[in-house]
A and B are shown apart, each in its own frame.
Chain A
Amino acid sequence: MSKTSESKPPISRRSALKTLGVGAGAAALPMWARYANAQTSEPIRIGFQKHATGIGASYGRWYDRTSQAAVKMINAGGGINGRMVELVTEDDGTDPKRGAEVVEKFATQHKCDVAFGTLFSHVVIGSAPRAGELKLPYFVVSEGHHVASGMLNRYTLQPGITDVKSQVQAMAPFVASNLGKKVTMIFPDFAFGHDHRDYFSAAIEAQGGEVVQMIAIPPAETSFTKYFPKIPRETEVIYHVMVGPAVLTFVKELGEFFGPSRPEIFGFIDSLEAVDLASPGLEYLEGTYFWEGNPRYAQADQSEYDKNFRAAVGVDENGASVNDSKDISTYAHMFGCWETLNIIKAGMESSGYAGPQDRSKLIEAVEAITDIPHSNAHPQGAKLFNGKTHQVFGQQYITKVTNGKLILAHTAGIEDTLYPDEVDYTKQSF
């Protein structure tokens, strides 16, 4: 995929690097001095919009655990600009209307400096306009394309997790050259599935492949056998993104339908996020491929950063809680909270953020960020932030189910994830 627009960000890379230097300078202060400062100042208050209840609650629990760990690490390193960080958690019920109310509470009642942490797209879309009206920087961790599509506003940023459009398109080169060019897509018949349908069919065509059949499954369906005869014989690859409680049934019935002579199978881990791969029926997925935002299983070439991240959050080498090997984390997504909090820290440090009066400076500082190196602050990998679209781009992982574990088969580079800009938020006034 070709690179995006060539126009320059409002703050040049040189000045951004300079600001990184300022951050490094602060970090070079003696530890006691940082603590002394930290303990005497008001904390930086980060409003954490948590899906504590509602359909997002299983994600919310791990987003919480990751965010608490990130804040602990940031505070252990002296906080931000010498001030401790405090997470102010509010439950949004995974409900767009409540999301907007929570954002308002952060701004007016809790005196938060920024808001952070939303995952579900409809909550982001429901909350972002209010954040814009209240001029509250709103850092989302949602994967949705709504930020980069231009639908939101200057106050909403997604610097810690890539969006679904870039993820899906980055899969096409691997699928076309390794698995096959004739693809049948099976997806749930609503917005989530439609995004995959639209982005992937365009991307696979660009690779010389084609989608030979699209099978849209009604969202409330719990039995799938009747849909499988629609899969054309010429199909070389099945691309599936089923979600919801019937996923295990879907895989089981797919196995019963094809038996051992199946086409290649490629899926998105969203289907099985927080689900144990040792679950009954999932043995059929052996030898199939998955997109993962961050590999659940520690890989042979595991970085020190990933090791550190797992230890801090309390996740073992299989992606499960260190307290319970059956408690599988939402590993493909939750790093986004950790990385976003570190971006907030970097932005506040480079802008010299001192309080709500500096919110626009903070946004400009984040917009100026470009290259983000692989580090303890960014354990998923190096990234490229696009200040105009407020969206980060990063490498994507394709893993293969091998002996019941997801083993890395391919890493799609950042260049595979880029697409032309659809908005320039920096042109919007504060």
Chain B
Amino acid sequence: MLLIGPAEMAHAHASEQGFVLLLPTDFYVAGGVAAVVLTILVIVAMPPNSARRIFRPASFGKSSRKNGAVVTSCLAFLIMLALLAIGLLGPHDPTRNALPLGFWTLFWVVFVILQGLLGNLWNWFNPWTGPYTVVRLLRLQPLARLPAGLGYWPALASFLAFSAFLLAHPAPSDPEGLALMTATYWSFHFVGMVVFGPKWLRRAEGLSVLLNNYASIAALGSCAGRFRIGLTGWKTLTRPAPAASLAVFMIATLAIGSFDGLNETFWWFGKIGINPLEFPGRTAVVGENLIGLVLVVPMLVLIYGLAVWLGVRIIGQHRQFQSAFCIFAPAILPIALAYHFAHYLPSFLVEIQFVARMFADTLHLPPIQVTTGFFNTIATVRVIWLSQAAAVVAGHVVAILLSHVLALNLFGSHRKAVVSQIPLTIFMVAYTFFGLWLLASPRGV
């Protein structure tokens, strides 16, 4: 049987799960963890300049500063309005309504991943900056200053609220409910922008901060007037370290992404005393999901912080703890993006067909019959599973490499960098195991 919410829109297909249980996932997990461990051994043996060279981007052509983002943002705003109208007035079936499909499948899965690979598309397509620029034409000035001391904490609160909707709301893909939530979320942050100026979007709106973070590790980007392409994370090395509140936001992203997989496992259902074969529905686990969400963020921040603290302590640089905490945090982002891909891949394969069917129905093209046949053979399930696992392993490998180069830049010596990274490296190996275990675990929804 299948999915819930966003990932739940097409999920937990019994046969897919059944095949995963038949796959030799123990070997795959061991292989994945071994690949990460091997990366660490290579790093230990690698001269510092070679490590830095891995992240050196290739350039290809001049980047221009020309900016049509106001127009495209206005367009995105109009598309959002149309989707809201469809959400309120269109089909009630979330698999046939453009709003849940547009929001959960095309935006939350596809757009977020593209942002993490291609760079700051959000700058062009967010639905706020265009309308805000129009409002500014009316000579409306910000009414107040967003206190600098707030840092990115408002954005974290906003992202937690969004995550609570994603994880704990009984019906996140109900078109009508989603329309109201989207309208509320947009309006709240638009008012925030009007009152506090565009800084609001950069520091208080959770999705923008999430997407800016992902853009900051994208393979594509521009630097010093030229377009460049390099290994995920190269841009991080060209930027200043994030503020502490932004670093916490980055770790929270991984924590929430991980919980949004953990809360579907038989293990979790055992913890909350629910029979996974008789799942009583999301309304029955709202409290459990909220508590899980609230616990998992500080827990991971604490574990990460402890690993960083131990690292700087070993090399006798414990005064550097706060800067190390902030400097290394972006290395978590490739893992979070990989989890995002891995978690949503199976449901995406079904939901993108809902999207195609919706377009076909709207344009009176020949009807499209949605299939889940690829969950029904071991060969295709193996390809899907290994793609998810490959993403998780690649995310960790990049994270370890990036973290090492950041440590080289901070501490200046190869030995100090390697030794300081030991606890963080152990954390990442353990997290690789956890991520692969999640993929291999039987799920109830």
Residues in chain A within 8 A of chain B (CB atoms): 50, 52-61, 64-65, 88-91, 93-98, 105, 110, 122-123, 188, 190-192, 219-220, 222, 243-249, 252, 274-276, 279-281, 314, 320-328
Q: Which 9 A-B pairs have the closest CB atoms?
A: A95-B281, A57-B2, A326-B373, A245-B17, A327-B373, A248-B18, A97-B283, A324-B373, A89-B93
Residues in B whose Cβ lies below 8 Å from that of A96: 280-281, 283
Q: Are B171 and A245 in contact (CB under 8 A)?
A: no
Residues in A whose Cβ lies below 8 Å from that of B12: 55, 57, 245
Cα distance A269–B369 when bound, in Å?
A: 24
B115: shortest Cβ distance to chain A, in Å? 26
Cα distance A92–B432 when bound, in Å?
A: 36
Q: Are B3 and A57 in contact (CB under 8 A)?
A: yes
B372 interface residue per 8 A CB criterion: yes
Q: Are A57 and B281 in contact (CB under 8 A)?
A: no
Cα distance A294–B372 when bound, in Å?
A: 21
Cα distance A89–B91 when bound, in Å?
A: 7
Q: Are A328 and B4 in contact (CB under 8 A)?
A: no
Q: Are B266 and A91 in contact (CB under 8 A)?
A: no
Q: Are A326 and B376 in contact (CB under 8 A)?
A: yes
Residues in B whose Cβ lies below 8 Å from that of A192: 277-278
Cα distance A220–B275 when bound, in Å?
A: 7
B444: shortest Cβ distance to chain A, in Å? 7
Residues in A whose Cβ lies below 8 Å from that of B269: 220
Q: Are A122 and B278 in contact (CB under 8 A)?
A: yes
Residues in A whose Cβ lies below 8 Å from that of B288: none
Residues in A whose Cβ lies below 8 Å from that of B266: 220, 222
Residues in B whose Cβ lies below 8 Å from that of A275: 14-15, 18, 376
Residues in A whose Cβ lies below 8 Å from that of B20: 245
Q: Told that A248-B19, A324-B371, A326-B373 touch, could you supply 4 new A-B pairs with CB distance under 8 A?
A: A93-B171, A222-B21, A249-B18, A249-B21
Q: With A97-B170, A98-B171, A191-B278 in contact, do A56 and B18 touch (Cβ < 8 Å)?
A: no
B134 interface residue per 8 A CB criterion: no
Size band of the interface chain B makes with A: 35 or more
Q: Are A276 and B377 in contact (CB under 8 A)?
A: yes
Residues in A whose Cβ lies below 8 Å from that of B15: 248, 274-276, 279
Residues in chain B within 8 A of chain A (CB atoms): 1-5, 8-15, 17-22, 91-96, 170-171, 173-174, 266, 269-270, 275-284, 369-374, 376-378, 442-445
Q: Are B170 and A98 in contact (CB under 8 A)?
A: yes
Write the chain A residue with the least CB distance to B5: A53
28 residue pairs of the A-B complex, CB under 8 angstroms, read: A52-B93, A53-B3, A53-B4, A53-B173, A54-B8, A54-B279, A55-B445, A93-B171, A93-B281, A93-B283, A95-B170, A97-B281, A98-B170, A98-B171, A122-B280, A122-B281, A190-B275, A190-B277, A220-B270, A244-B17, A244-B442, A245-B17, A247-B14, A274-B14, A274-B376, A280-B378, A321-B371, A328-B373
Q: Are B279 and A53 in contact (CB under 8 A)?
A: no
Residues in A whose Cβ lies below 8 Å from that of B174: 91
Residues in B whose Cβ lies below 8 Å from that of A55: 1-2, 4, 12, 279, 444-445
Interface centre among A52, A274, A322, A323 (most CB of B within 10 A): A52
Interface centre among B91, B283, B284 (most CB of A within 10 A): B283
Residues in B whose Cβ lies below 8 Å from that of A190: 275, 277-278
Cα distance A324–B369 when bound, in Å?
A: 9
Residues in A whose Cβ lies below 8 Å from that of B279: 54-55, 94
Write the chain B residue with the least CB distance to A122: B280
Q: Are B4 and A247 in contact (CB under 8 A)?
A: no
Residues in A whose Cβ lies below 8 Å from that of B374: 326
A379: shortest Cβ distance to chain B, in Å? 20
Residues in B whose Cβ lies below 8 Å from that of A327: 371-373, 376
Residues in A whose Cβ lies below 8 Å from that of B9: 52-53, 57
Q: Are B5 and A219 in contact (CB under 8 A)?
A: no
Cα distance A281–B445 when bound, in Å?
A: 24
Candidates B14, B170, B282, B377; contact of A245 at CB < 8 Å: B14
Residues in A whose Cβ lies below 8 Å from that of B21: 222, 245-246, 248-249
Q: With A52-B94, A55-B2, A321-B369 in contact, do A94 and B281 touch (Cβ < 8 Å)?
A: yes
